[in-house]
């Protein structure tokens, strides 16, 4: 199997801070800062050693990558593609509807970007305003229309459920409105109230009231049923796609394939090792400009840790854990190595096993925290290497 890998490019600039956001972002930077930061990205890329295999994805995430001049985005793409093997990579730019025009979208498309991930978040202006989003509902609709005009045939839309004061009817209207835009992909996130955010303070002071957890679960259920009927199929806990339009970039993460990362605070992974850059934007630029490695820290993962993570990330996907890929990677059968834990999940009705996949049941997905805990606590048997022995022990 040819290995695949990707590049994540972090663009930390935003127009304003959304109330729920704890990402590594900065506001108030100038166009000169953008140019300087891009030059640092190119310099960092020149230090990188590309993994073996084919590059399948370049992902510009943020922050708000669509704030960057498309010429600068194009420069990064060209520099990356200049020295790697790549037939047809998915090249995604996260896009805020407040930052685009027809010309900018056409220029992005021309620079090689072939997928947009548009942050819609909600289709009610009062929710967008409460979240401190810098766009309204009209801008979302216009962005999709302009993106189609510019030639984008692969569009993902993000939305959040469980917002303060959000009713089921509003969530249903959001889903219907997004469906009317005919996206190839949807990412639906349950709101997480992160420490240190304005939203957290508002919740603590009683200024923002979150919906009850049962109601939030009902929103997720309703969306899944509606989107499946519309042939946008769930393929991961938060993600839906038309067949063949699943995100290749996300799949790299979930299948534990290597990805390099450029930019302030960006995280990279190769089998057995994870590392990340310094978080501050100015510090990142100064470090790279000074010819130094911007890596802040790294961690090494044992085989056992990687196996647990592989199982967990596999369970997040609807298709489940690919037993063959697990065996290929670790020279062990997961049904043997985790026999007791997986057997227990099976007996409790949280997981089922087919010949080649281990899949969470609906109950298992609802109790994902129990499954995660079980994997963390699992006893791992790394002594069985015989394919015969693995096959004999394949059932629970
Ligand atoms: S636009 Fe995105 S990255 Fe920027 S503050 Fe809002 S949620 Fe965070």
Question: In whole angstroms, what separates CA 99 from the centre of its chain?
Answer: 21
Q: How remote is the CA of residue 381 from the centroid of ligand 1, in Å?
A: 43
Closest CA to 341 of 365, 318, 372, 296: 372
Q: How remote is the CA of residue 94 from the centroid of ligand 1, in Å?
A: 10
Is the confidence at residue 266, as pLDDT, over 60?
yes
Q: CA 258 to CA 251: how far, in whole Å?
A: 11
Within 10 angstroms of residue 143's Cβ, the number of other Cβ atoms is: 27
Q: Which two tokens stand for residue 126?
A: 């009062």
Q: CA 116 to CA 94: how far, in whole Å?
A: 6
Domain boundaries 4-253, corresponding CATH code:
3.20.20.70
Atom of ligand 1 nearest to the CA of 131: 6
Print burial letters for 252-264: b (CB count within 10 Å at least 16), e (below 16): bbbebbbbbbbbb
Q: How remote is the CA of residue 133 from the centroid of ligand 1, in Å?
A: 8
pLDDT of amino acid 393: 47
Ligand 1 pocket mutation pick from 10, 11, 17, 20 by most atoms within 8 angstroms of CB: 17
Q: Once rounded to an integer, what is the mean pLDDT over residues 385-396?
A: 51
Those residues with Cβ within 8 angstroms of residue 15's Cβ, 6 or more apart along the chain or in another chain: 27, 64, 67, 96, 98, 99, 134
Q: Which two tokens stand for residue 187?
A: 């990412």
Q: Once rounded to an integer, what is the mean pLDDT over residues 78-84?
A: 93
Q: CA 195 to CA 201: how far, in whole Å?
A: 9
Atom of ligand 1 nearest to the CA of 17: 5
Q: Once rounded to an integer, what is the mean pLDDT over residues 341-365?
A: 94
**Which sequence spans correspond to the domains of the chain?**
4-253, 303-392
Q: Which two tokens stand for residue 87?
A: 């037939």
CA neighbours closer than 13 Å in the CB half-sphere of residue 324:
4
Q: Which fold has domain 303-392?
A: Arc Repressor Mutant, subunit A (1.10.10)
Q: CA 352 to CA 215: how far, in whole Å?
A: 28
Q: Whose CA is nearest to atom 2 of ligand 1?
A: 63
Q: CA 188 to CA 172: how far, in whole Å?
A: 12
Q: Which two tokens stand for residue 205?
A: 């002071």
Atom of ligand 1 nearest to the CA of 14: 4
For residue 141, report the phi and psi dihedrals to the nearest 5 degrees.
Answer: -60, -40
pLDDT of amino acid 347: 95
- Summarised one tens digit per residue, pLDDT across range 161-189 is 999 999 999 999 999 999 999 999 999 99
Confidence label for 303 from pLDDT (cuts 50, 70 and 90):
very high
Is the confidence at residue 294, as pLDDT, over 50?
yes
Ligand 1 pocket mutation pick from 10, 16, 25 by most atoms within 8 angstroms of CB: 25
Q: Once rounded to an integer, what is the mean pLDDT over residues 344-358?
A: 94
Q: In percent, how much of the chain has pLDDT > 70?
A: 96
Length of the chain in terms of residues written = 396
CA neighbours closer than 13 Å in the CB half-sphere of residue 42:
15
Closest CA to 159 of 199, 210, 118, 120: 120
User: Is there an atom of ligand 1 within 6 Å of 189 CB?
Assistant: no
Q: Once rounded to an integer, what is the mean pLDDT over residues 114-139?
A: 97
* Per-residue DSSP letter, 376: H
- Name the average pLDDT for the chain: 94
pTM greater than 0.85: yes
- Summarised one tens digit per residue, pLDDT across range 132-164 is 999 999 999 999 999 999 999 999 999 999 999
Q: How remote is the CA of residue 27 from the centroid of ligand 1, in Å?
A: 10
Is the confidence at residue 388, as pLDDT, over 50?
no
pLDDT of amino acid 385: 56
- Summarised one tens digit per residue, pLDDT across range 228-237 is 999 999 999 9
Q: Is the Cβ–Cβ distance between 302 and 356 less than 8 Å?
A: no
Closest CA to 137 of 186, 91, 170, 92: 170
Those residues with Cβ within 8 angstroms of residue 369's Cβ, 6 or more apart along the chain or in another chain: none
**Looking at 71-80, 122-131, 274-283, 374-383, which range is the least confident one?**
374-383
pLDDT of amino acid 2: 61
Atom of ligand 1 nearest to the CA of 94: 2
CA neighbours closer than 13 Å in the CB half-sphere of residue 144:
22
Closest CA to 57 of 97, 112, 119: 112
Q: Once rounded to an integer, what is the mean pLDDT over residues 328-336?
A: 94
């Amino acid at each position: 199997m040819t290995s695949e890998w990707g590049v994540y490019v972090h663009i930390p600039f935003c127009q304003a801070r959304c109330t729920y956001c704890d990402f590594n972002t900065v506001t108030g930077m100038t166009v000169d800062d953008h140019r300087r930061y891009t030059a640092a990205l190119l310099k960092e890329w020149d230090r990188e050693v590309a993994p073996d295999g084919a590059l399948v994805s370049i992902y510009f995430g943020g922050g708000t990558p669509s704030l960057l001049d498309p010429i600068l985005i194009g420069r990064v793409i060209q520099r990356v593609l200049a020295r790697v093997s790549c037939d047809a990579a998915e090249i995604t730019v996260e896009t805020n509807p407040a930052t685009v025009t027809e010309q900018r979208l056409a220029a992005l498309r021309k620079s090689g970007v072939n997928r947009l991930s548009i942050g819609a978040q909600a289709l009610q202006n009062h929710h967008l305003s409460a979240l401190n989003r810098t766009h309204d509902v009209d801008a979302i609709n216009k962005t999709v229309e302009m993106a189609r005009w510019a030639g984008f045939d692969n569009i993902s839309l993000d939305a959040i459920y469980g917002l303060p004061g959000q009713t089921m009817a509003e969530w249903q209207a959001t889903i219907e409105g997004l469906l009317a835009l005919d996206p190839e992909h949807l990412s639906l996130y349950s709101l997480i109230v992160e420490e240190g955010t304005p939203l957290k303070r508002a919740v603590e002071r009683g200024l923002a009231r979150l919906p009850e957890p049962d109601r939030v679960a009902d929103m997720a259920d309703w969306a899944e049923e509606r989107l499946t009927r519309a042939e946008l199929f769930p393929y991961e806990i938060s993600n839906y796609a038309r067949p063949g339009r699943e995100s290749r970039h996300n799949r790299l993460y979930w299948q534990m394939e290597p990805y390099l990362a450029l930019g302030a605070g960006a995280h990279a992974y190769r089998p057995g090792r994870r590392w990340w850059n310094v978080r501050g934007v100015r510090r990142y630029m100064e470090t790279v400009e000074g010819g130094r490695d911007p890596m802040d820290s790294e961690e090494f993962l044992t085989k056992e840790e990687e196996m647990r993570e592989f199982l967990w990330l596999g369970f997040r996907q609807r298709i489940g854990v690919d037993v063959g890929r697990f065996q290929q990677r670790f020279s062990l059968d997961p049904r043997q190595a985790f026999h007791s834990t997986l057997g227990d999940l099976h007996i409790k009705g949280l997981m089922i096993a087919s010949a080649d996949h281990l899949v969470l049941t609906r109950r298992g997905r609802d109790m994902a925290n129990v499954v995660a805990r079980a994997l963390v606590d699992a006893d791992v048997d790394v002594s069985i290497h015989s394919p015969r022995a693995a096959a004999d022990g394949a059932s629970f």
